[in-house]
Amino acid sequence: MLPKDDLNIITKEMGREPNLVEQGCFLNLWSEHCSYRSSAPLLRTFTTTGDRVIIGPGDDAAIVSIGDGWVLAIGMESHNHPSYVDPYNGSATGVGGIVRDIISMGARPIALMDPLYFGPLDSPKNLYLFEHIIEGIAGYGNCIGVPVVRGETFFDKSYSGNPLVNVVCIGLAREENVVTACAQKAGNKVILMGSTTGRDGLGGASFASRDLSESAEAEDRPSIQVGDPFTEKLVIEATLEVIKKGYVKACRDLGAAGLAGASSEMASKGKLGIHIIADNVILRETNMTPYEILIAESQERMVLEVEPGDVDAVFEIAKKYDLNVSVIGELTERKYYTVEFKGEIVADMPIMFLNEGAPTFERPSEEPKPREIGEKPALPADLKQAVLDVLSSHNVASKDWIYRQYDHEVQVRTVVKPGEDAGVLRITDTTGLALSCGCNPRHTLLDPYKGAKGTIYENAMNLAVKGARGVAIVDCLNFGNPERPDIYWQFKHGILGLGDGARELEIPVVGGNVSLYNESGEFNTAILPTPSIGMVGVVDDINIAPSATFVNEGDTVIFIGDIRDELGGSEYYSIIDKGTTGHVPTVPDNASEIVDKVIDVVRSGKITAAHDVSLGGLAVALCEMCGTKGAQVDVSAIGGDLRADDVLFSESQACAILTTSEPNAVLAMLKDVSATVIGTVGGDSIKISSNGIEISLSHDEISWARSSLTRLMME
């Protein structure tokens, strides 16, 4: 039901009270999910333009140039609430939706990333959600032939009643083949192509704009879409073919708010109206009402603007791929969204008002009381065991059980597979893309601005260690109920942190998604503030991208950056139950220079292995670099007067580990930033000396600790 204030605004504008069909359209298109009512003013603070940006926010996906006429289509979406109610179909259709956003721009999807956030796996319900969400992503992505090349999986009790399923998709196209969702000409026909329309997904947009109730699984199941990846694959090929042949003037996938959303947005972007004949929509269920036909979010459907003379050609291609296709309307000069059903007009709304009339505003925000830093806990008696405990936590442990279920080899572009700092894809014989995603929600909880800004730098360093410079960012801003002043304050300052970090690195924020009301009545809690991002960078020469593990005996190990007393929000503190104490990592003033230096030195070809230092800190990074070889390191030179656990576990920003057989040349290149030789590659263990304490970790111990998640799932 429409909120009373909205109903009054609409009634005044239309000069009459909207009927039930019209109210359904307004309810969904004016939802927070579709209209960004309380987030639009904040999102305008992002820098969204740049030399490479061809199309920024506002279309189904952004378009970014990578040179020689090639462009990327980039998008990021969430499917959080549906994935709690129906984990398999919720996550699968999350993949399907973002893939269609990419093909609607005329680009072929070439990669997926999936930042995921769950409650602890010691709960049967969380374990069930975890297993079936992964299964849904794998089942859909594998069938449509798009590799999942990178992801993040983070566990915290706040996600128990509201897991987060965020998906990034990257597509590749020739610039001349790009189309947009902007309608071109009155008189052109509107075609619906793909699957049939059923009652699944009714009111999905409005469902995504409210808290989950305790009875959500039973009450909200009709709001969940059901996906068919085999039809999606046919939709991909058919859509790309009709676009490449020049038949499509505008294109939009049917996602949130279904046909009403896609068709009205397409027309309004072109400052046109549209006349829809709902009887022409091919249905899979009987006796569907106009409201259901317009609002249902059935999957695998595309709406196309086609000139009258090209309709038959589009029909032939659709039939070749065994897809349903019908002309469902026509673009008009009259700027109204008009729907006809059984010879009667059942909806007639000013189209610009429907799509752009929702009031936007900043909500009241309230900074929480200053957080006490607290006393440092006692230094662990057994530092070796502390390292193993952090290494075996599910947040840090290897995620191979997850990505083994994904086909990351399909399309044969994948150069660096899941499990490293960034995935790397081949575009030409030498050039490629590096992809990174995620955030640290505990940092953002303790300080939304610092945590969000750190998110930008952590992902930028993930790209840098592969020699890639970021060219575009997409985001998925997952927060609780914005009507709570403390939550809106988190949201606001998280956006400011992301924006400032992106500007410092000169990487535009080209698109994304806002997911609010991520709270659970069952657990009476909001999620951790989770401003997850996807970042794409260009690799000039994929043949010199360094390994993430130690390579050559005798190579020099160099630490770049500075470790500080910043254990606040660290995985180490979460394990010893000190999660709300300590200083949160602050991005250093010269962080952008450090990132640039890492990129330059990696591109020199003198680096044999490189690894970002982030979640878990230096100790975890060193252990993760132990593949077939270990190293002997002394970290006392980088810790100053810090305690041993500060040096080992602080998650300070803009830090990395490099190895090289040419230390003098590399150190000369790094002379303007903090760079310290800390050891040598070799042996079958990692030996870390700090403040006179030596920790020896054999490969078996590292492997056992890192396999904790896999062992749990194989039991």
Question: Which residues are part of the catalytic machinery?
Answer: 33, 79
Burial of residue 389 (CB within 10 Å: 0-12, 13-18, 19+) is middle
Partners of 324 in beta bridges: 194
Question: How far is C-alpha 226 from the chain's CA centre?
Answer: 21
Contact 602, 662 (CB under 8 A): no
- DSSP structure class, residue 197: B
The strand pair at 509-515 and 468-478 is best described as parallel
Q: Looking at residue 555, what DSSP letter applies?
A: P
What three-state secondary structure class fits 20? helix
Within a 10 A sphere around the Cβ of 395, how many other Cβ atoms? 19
166 forms beta bridges with 78
- Structure-token match 């409201």, residue found: 291
According to DSSP H, which parts of 145-286 are helical? Answer: 204-207, 216-219, 229-244, 258-269
Residue 559: which residues within 8 A CB-CB, separation 6 or more?
613, 618, 635, 638, 655, 656, 657, 675, 676, 678
CA distances from 134 to 80, 99, 130, 496, 692 (A): 13, 17, 6, 32, 44
Which neighbouring-strand residues pair with 525?
520
Identify how many contiguous H helices and E strands the chain contains and give both numbers.
27, 28
Question: How distant is the alpha carbon of residue 495 from its chain centre?
Answer: 15
Q: ∠ CA 575-576-578 to the nearest 5 degrees?
A: 105
* Collapsed DSSP state (helix, strand, coil) of residue 210: coil
Nearest Cα residue to 204 out of 219, 224, 190, 228: 224
Rounded to the nearest angstrom, the gap between the alpha carbon of residue 60 and the centroid of all alpha carbons in its chain is 15
Rounded Cα distance between 689 and 679, Å, is 10
Q: Look up residue 499 and give its DSSP letter.
A: H
Nearest to 248 by CA among 341, 313, 173: 313
**Cα separation, 387 vs 323, whole angstroms:** 55
Per-residue exposure over 332-349, b if at least 16 CB sit within 10 Å of its own CB, e if not: beeebbbbbbeeeebbbb
